[in-house]
Amino acid sequence: MGLFDKIKEVTRKVSEVEHNIYHEKRDYLEIYERNLELEREIAERTVELNDANKRMFTLQHIWEMMNSSTPLENVLEAIVNSTQGELGYMHCAIIRKCHDEDGDYMHIVAQSHDNLIERLNDIIGGAGIQTRRLNYSEESVFADTMKRRTIVQTKSIDLSLSAVLPDLSPDVVEKVVSNQPVKSVIVVPLTAQEKEFGWFCVFSAREELAGAEMDFLALFAKQIEMAITIADLFQAVRNQAVTDALTGLYNRRYFEEALEKEVQRAKRQKQPFSVIGIDLDYLKKINDTYGHNFGDLAIKTIADVLKSNARSVDVPARIGGEEFNVLLPGIASDGAMIAAERIRKSIEAVEIDTIGHITGSLGVATYFEHSENVEELMELTDQAMYTSKREGRNRVTLAQPVSETYWQEIAVNTFIDILSKNKIPKVKHLSKELCKKLKNSNNEITKESLYSVADMLTKLYNPMHTQGTIKNKVIMAVNLAKRFDLPKEDIDNLRIAVLLYDIGNLMLPTNLLQKAAPLTDKEREEIKHHPVIAAREILQPISYIQDVLPIIEHHHENWDGSGYPNKISKEEIPLTSQIILIVDQYFALIEPRPYRSKMSNRDAVEIIKADAGKKWNENLVSEFISIIEHDIV
């Protein structure tokens, strides 16, 4: 090969090497560029994944709060602060659409704590935007999003601000929107249980809204709506638990809890409070003349009067039947009398279709002034109210100091006498414990200790007896007695009799009272003897309880004369004995027995109705049904 050919071959090989190097370089560059692109994609996906994790963490945190007892306002505060802080928005707020006599308006219920809101509040002045009544305009972005039920992003921050705060001058609006990082506002409509609630608003430093961001805000809105729905349902359940279904007032349980708290506050601050007792006059006459629907209407009318006359701190409650109480924190007797007279006049002024005007009898008692014992205070309120009834109705009576022995004291002394002297051998082993229970640490007599001891004694001969039943029996018996305007003395004797009427059962063989098989004639006669045992053998030696003995002895006498032990009938039977008989029958039916299961409230009522005119006076049955029917509807 010649020199020229060798040079040509070398040149060819060099070109080939250069060509290969060029292509390899190009491949390397392509690989490098692809790696760079992959790194960018990985970085973007990592950011997106981090954002998604933050969003999921925020949603999980909110979900946990929603499933706890956290109040709604706290959940909403957590939502806006989490959204602003964790997801990078400049500011977040939840705005509620409201309505009053002046029309629709908007109110901020939750907002994030950040520099942006602090700057806005500094510029507009006052207590801040969250305390303001915000204008609602049908031309605003808020109305638009609600109508369309869709998320809207607006860059017109100045127009949005002017729409909700039209009183701001253009100069103030310009100052707010200038020199700040917000580029757009995203407005998300909120509905709860198919009702308009308001809006979730986020202030963003971005001008455009990404698709994933839109999806997330929609998901977030659903969580907010669920939180609102759960809170509304929780509040509805709570309201049902503490309010009376017929009137919407607080019920007895809530009133008693509020009274206990007020006693503690009064002791701490050395400040009095008063209680007003109200009883609707002539409810029986209204029911008999116009029907129970009109009786309910009269009861609701008094409830409406109490609501309209109550301060925000007052506690108006329906205690049962036609009886109401109002707790007046911080009010002495002179102020309570003024409030009671205002209520009386308001009741009298209302005219009801068909019925006409109704009236109420009211009593007032004040803590510290009349008593420092809450049990005693309520007794005094009750006495004052029934003094108003006995003296002509439609009037207000201030409680007077009690000059007689309380029924609780008589009952306690009676139990102690029976127990300490071991008059009932079956309870000898419990005597010391029960006597101790009848006095609390302050040596004060309480109803609860009486009820508890009576329940414990009843449990000895009736293992199926439910704790708390004695208290319910006393309340029901007293409410019945009040329907017939019995004097206080008779009602007090009835209270004591309810605690003691079955005590004779403790002298009978246990196997006889708990027998599941039918009783023999001999066994039945032995059981019929228990009222006489209670009245004559156990209680008769106690001098201060003699007025109670006839009530107990005759509490199994039937209206038609078929009862026992003396087979007396009709008006020969003390009304208080008849009251015990019907109350005892009702509670016996709704409690289980060895020979049968317990009955429903409605079935028990039907049995009592069937015996009207036989076992008890028809009028008594009518009033009894009226008292309990609102509890079983």
Structural contact between residues 298 and 352, judged by C-beta atoms closer than 8 angstroms: yes
User: Can you give the pLDDT at residue 5?
Assistant: 65
Tell me: pLDDT of 365 over 70.
yes
Give 443's Cβ-side CA count (13 Å radius). 0
What band does 633 get if pLDDT is binned at 50, 70 and 90?
very low
* Residues pairing with 327 in the sheet: 275, 315
Mean pLDDT calculated for residue range 19-23: 62
The span from the first CA to the last CA of the chain, in angstroms, equals 121
Q: What average pLDDT does the segment 250-275 reach?
A: 92
CA separation (Å) from 8 to 3, 14, 18, 20? 9, 10, 15, 18
Rounded to whole angstroms, the Cα distance separating 315 from 326 reads 5
Report the pLDDT value the prediction gives residue 442, as an integer from 0 to 100. Answer: 45
User: What average pLDDT does the segment 569-587 reach?
Assistant: 94
* pLDDT at site 483: 84
Q: Kindly report the CATH number that applies to the domain delimited by 252-398.
A: 3.30.70.270
Categorize the per-residue pLDDT at 95 as very low, low, confident or very high, splitting at 50, 70 and 90.
Answer: very high
Rounded CA separation 550/444 (Å): 29
pLDDT in tens, 471-515: 999 999 998 998 888 888 899 999 999 999 888 887 877 777 677
**195-221 average pLDDT score:** 82
Which of 77-81, 205-209, 319-323, 515-519 tops mean pLDDT? Answer: 319-323
Buried b / exposed e along 427-441 (16+ C-beta atoms within 10 A): beebbeebbebbeee
What percent of the chain is modeled with pLDDT above 90? 35
**What architecture is domain 72-241?**
2-Layer Sandwich (3.30)
- Closest by Cα among 345, 376, 142, 166 to 275: 376
Nearest Cα to Cα of residue 465 among 425, 525, 506: 506
- Of 371 and 527, the structure prediction assigns the larger pLDDT to 371
pLDDT one-digit tens code per residue, 370-416? 988 888 899 889 889 988 987 889 999 999 865 545 788 888 888 88
pTM assigned to the model: 0.52
The predicted-structure confidence for 617-627, as pLDDT tens digits, reads as follows 999 999 898 88
* 252-398 and 407-632 in the same fold: no
Q: Give me the pLDDT at residue 46, please.
A: 61
pLDDT at 2: 63
pLDDT surpassing 60 at residue 65? no
Q: Cα(529)–Cα(523) distance, rounded to whole angstroms?
A: 10
- Total number of residues shown for the chain: 633
Domain ranges of the chain: 1-50, 72-241, 252-398, 407-632
DSSP string, 266-283: HHHHT--EEEEEEEETTH
Give the separation between CA 198 and CA 177, rounded to whole angstroms: 24
Confidence category of residue 14, pLDDT binned at 50, 70, 90 = low
pLDDT band with cut points at 50, 70 and 90 for residue 443: very low
Residue position matching structure tokens 């007090």: 492
The CATH number of 407-632 is: 1.10.3210.10
pLDDT at 296 over 50: yes
Confidence label for 312 from pLDDT (cuts 50, 70 and 90): confident
Ranges 173-182, 291-300, 394-403: which has the least confidence: 394-403
- Exposure string for 272-291, b = 16+ CB within 10 A, e = fewer: bbbbbbbbbbbbbebbeeee
pLDDT of residue 554: 92
Q: Which of the four pLDDT bands, split at 50, 70 and 90, describes residue 583?
A: very high
